[in-house]
Amino acid sequence: MSLLELQREPQPASDLRLEYDKRLMLVSGRANRPLAARIADRLGVEVGNVTLKTFANGEVYCRYEESVRGADVFIVQPTCANPDEGITPNDALMELMLMVDAAVGGSAHRVIAVTPWYGYSRQDKKSAPREPISARLVARMLEAAGIDRLLTMDLHSGQIQGFFQKPCDHMTALFILTQYFADLNLEDLVVVAPDAGRVKLNQTFARKIGADLAILNKERPAQQFAEITYVIGDVAGKTALIVDDMIGTAGTLAAAAKAVRDFGARRVYAAATHGNFSGGAWENLAAAAFEEVVVTDTIPLPTDHPDNVRVLSCADLLTSSIRQIFTDGSVSEVFGGENQLF
């Protein structure tokens, strides 16, 4: 029999079929282990065993203690600081890249970075000559490390998705936050956008809870310093809810709270996806006298945070999105197609 005839000869099915059992692995860096544990509990899996440590000279080390070969490896690691673990945002970023590289080197089928807080996201464009576009550089670094896709939440701006050549799945905590405030049944509620860049988000937020909308005119004379000059809309005698994507030093929130109170607001609430509290955040929040500040657990908070800071978990959303990615489903279906808010 010639080679051509042999190639045409029907082969047994067992010779043609590749037996392959798809496997999901969830692992966590040190940035937010509690969030990874909540996701694992909902997925019904164990958090994978990974050795992570920082050497005396400050270098980061990681090693998977079990095989990752052929698995879809989901690495839960927001690139934020975690003082309890003794790591900085830069440590978290480097740790994420090393975990990605180790998974790729261990022959993982796919490597997905679950990074609900995307560090350096505020540096998404040049605001002055000779500045880096840091958010773009982080995207290049993660892709160079070997990620197959990124799963993130409420990016500071939509253009960050364009920095990736790999799929970037964008989630939003909008529905968690709107449901929470809808359940409070606050009277005379007005949603307040802290600046023009957040108007579209706040319009959607206000529509979903049936509230009015006001807009603040914000200027930044210097980095991490905000100045509110006037309020567009009626807040007099109402309950103001200031909605933003993240809280850093809370300087913007404090200035916004003062502005709406000066214009007659009776009570002031605040909501944001990311509670990246830093610098004098707690002092600024205390001075602003908010009724409540609501954030999600994309970034871990210290256990001794103020009593009026409430943390809602985004673990259910992350779990649903991870399931969709693993089963090659649609992430946008989790949000009814409303996960692009820019």
Instruction: Give yes or no for a contact between 257 and 270, defined as CB atoms under 8 angstroms apart.
Output: yes
How open is the CA angle 332-337-339, to the nearest 5 degrees?
A: 75
CA distance 295 to 274: 6
The single-letter code of the amino acid at 62 is C
Structure tokens at 208: 């979903």
CA distance 136 to 138: 5
Going edge to edge, which strands form the sheet with 168-171?
A: 23-28, 71-76, 110-115, 149-153, 168-171
Residues 6+ apart with CB under 8 A from 34: 297, 300
Q: How many residues does the chain have?
A: 342
Q: Which of 200, 208, 218, 238 is catalytic?
A: 218
CA distance 325 to 72: 9
76 closest CA partner among 59, 60, 96: 96
Q: 4: helix, coil or strand?
A: helix
Instruction: Give yes or no for a contact between 294 and 285, defined as CB atoms under 8 angstroms apart.
Output: no
Q: What is the residue-wise DSSP string for 119-185?
A: TTTT--S-SSTT---HHHHHHHHHHHHT-SEEEEES-S-GGGGGG-SS-EEEE--HHHHHHHHHHHT
Count CB atoms within 10 A of the CB of residue 231: 21
Task: Mark whether 218 is an active-site residue.
Answer: yes
In angstroms, the Cα distances linking 171 to 72, 114, 179, 328 are 20, 11, 16, 16
Burial of 73 (0-12, 13-18, 19+ CB in 10 A): buried
The residues assigned a catalytic role are 218
